[in-house]
Structure 1
Amino acid sequence: MIETMQRIETGTRAPAVPGRVVVINDASFARGGATGIALSSAELLQARGVDVTFISGDSGEQAAALGHRFEIVPLGGTHILGGPRVKAALDGLYNGAAERFLAAWIARNDTPDTVYHLHGWSKVLSPSIFRALKPVAPRLVVNAHDFFLVCPNGGFFNFRTEKPCDLAPMSLACLGTNCDRRHYAHKLWRSARQGVRRLLSDLGRSDSTILAVHEGMLPHLARGGLAGARLRALRNPAAPWRSQRIEAERNRTFVFVGRLESDKGPDLLAAAARKAGVPLKIIGGGPLDAMLASDYPEAERVGWKTRAEIVEEIADVRALVMPSRYREPFGLVAMEALTSGLPIVVPSYAMLAQDVTEGGFGLACDPHDVDALAGALGRLAADDALLAQMSLRAHREAHRLAPTQAEWTDALLGLYADLLAGENRRPEPTDRSIRWGSAA
């Protein structure tokens, strides 16, 4: 039976309402993931009557064109991979322009009832912004969408041995291990960035609140020095792609949705789909696109799609596969698929794996083992009755694995109220997950 979360009680006290919420993120245009969550929070908070300012590391032009109702304040920077290598390496360690920009904005606009919520910082803004945010640390929420706050490669995963990593982050053993998906020099650079961030802001001792996207992340973040009363977990909100159940048992095609990058594992899935002899549709884009087109021409590649377009693309899909090479902290597309009635295949080390298997919503396996992944695909391809059972269960019950947008917004406002009331300094609770929903 699925354990369900209890709704945060509202109306029992008069919470402090933020005068303004400042959402900070590398980018202002999303292809899903952390940026999508950052933008969603800004939209939902603004709809509740909260003034929102969205400070982005990029130009903000694409976001402005979408007509967002909240204020967008762009730095005008570029992704660290978009410029000369030496400059990118230096800016990735400390972007002085970003620090000065944010510090100046705070000096001009900060008020005692302003709350700051930092999402992505490693692609444009860099660790330098933690220095700018120090004066407002008690009113700062730092979202842990991944493990980059503590782990140099961001995944608590050894990409060389293809196994989860249990080393203490930034220990001598960690620093001496070549675990990076690229090469050891890149691991050393990422470690230097982690050292700069720690030097500028020791989040394990600061008054800032760390918000993980899954309670399964908490022990790993604590292992990296972020234990304490200010460590919380709140799962991301999920809405189905389609409200009516997809009759997955009638379909044959498996689907991947996301970035076409090594850490997401689309190449592992393409190899497994070929081995299992099942059709594959790939929705997304990225550096592996050309390789997939060349090496796996049988896979249908449709590129990036809007949410409305995804609704059409997944109408003929049997199951979604999330073959990530690392400890996937949450997996928003997995939840969007499940609540649409699509069974899923996830890595056995993903945070959602236990929920998926215990709920009977899909299968878990090690995607590095192509034979095992192919076997999982073959099993789902061959058994219509099993697929129908998984689809019906997922459509009926998987919504309990994540809050609705309304519940998530309630939880954020409750957390912000605690910060403004100084309640982030209370003694460490036994359970640090922020709860939502009601038992079914």
Structure 2
Amino acid sequence: MDTMRSLPESHGSVAVPRGGGFWRKLLAFIGPGWLVAVGYMDPGNWATDIAGGSAFGYALLSVVLLSNLMAIVLQALAARLGIGSGLDLAQACRAHYPRRVTLLLWVLCEIAIVACDLAEVLGTAIALKLLFGLPLVAGVCLTALDVFLILALQRFGFRRLEAFIAALLIVIAGCFALELAWAGPDWRAAARGLVPTAEIVRNPAMLYIAIGILGATVMPHNLYLHSAVVQTRAFGRADRDRREAIRLATIDSTVSLGLAFFINAAILVLAAATFHVAGRTGVAEIEEAHRLLAPMLGVGAASTVFAIALLASGQNSTVTGTLAGQVVMEGFLDLRLPMWLRRLVTRGLALVPAVAVVVAMGDRGTTPLLLLSQVILSMQLPFAVIPLVTFSGNAKVMGAHVAPRWLIAVAWVVAALIVALNAVLLWGIAFG
């Protein structure tokens, strides 16, 4: 099958030094990991971290760590697939699955991208309300303008786009570093929280939040995105060059996901140090956390800094969601639409339910809608994870760059665990 390149306007556009040392080459590969890390700290993940920290203190930090390790394994496979086979995950599905299966996977993935976009819309709208007092409906509608932001960024090249993402990630990390400095967590207790305890399994309420953290960690569109954006690097076609590219891309994604772990852990630690120790164990919503931070920490800027981080998170997720939508549509259908049209369609599909719920239910409808978006993502996840692990371990697809057996074995365990936890999470939501 004649397959067009992933992200053709950016494919191989970032130069990789041929004779340079390790650090120069690694610097050239840094970037795709930042785009991937965004998906692990989007507004849809904030509620579970806040709920876990306020209800159980530092105890669920071990779950955040485990989630991050699972994500590292799967994203490493996504990078390997893109570099080793020359196909992104959507293209691999189209090349190796029957047409009907490919179309089904495409529809499911599009639904997941709209659900993710819904979380970004709501997160950005909530941030605009918290910062500027903008009504939620107006904030939701205003998010449509980010189409022009993405178009402007892409005009300056893929490297500039990555720099923009990295800058916003630094803003988010800086905001939470400030929040933690003001909160003064018990770092010894936090360190103990990194070690799993039997109580997580024995306590049904704790187990449910733990499942929520684990189940909503890996974003399905991230796997498609990563397998495409690693191909923006102009590495050589020889097996030796591809092996080196796989190694450098894996380092990039692993380090970037380490930052994602810090931010997710920081949200949970902040909730534990601020709400749990004060007996406010029922705090679970973003707006409630924002309202309580300043008075409870005694720092007037605490709530503002929290909202700034939320706004940066929503905008970052917007950019990567757009790229993922492009990769999925082009990969599954070999259909190319102008970026602005693709973005308007996706954002329009997210705006309609967001506006409808906010108008009908007011501010109290945002949390259930955020929860619904995460449920939809959870339902789609197996349809991305299973093909990824299957292709990565298939020598016919990967050639000399097939993943080692031990890595595939670990990946299957991770996939089975994610699918099982998502099933439990969906069962609990459906039947109380």
TM-score of the superposed pair, with normalisation by structure 1: 0.25
- Which has a greater percent of helix? 2
Specify which structure has the bigger relative contact order, considering alpha-carbon pairs within 8 angstroms and separated by 6 or more residues.
2
Superposition TM-score, scaled by structure 2 size: 0.26
Structure number with higher strand proportion: 1
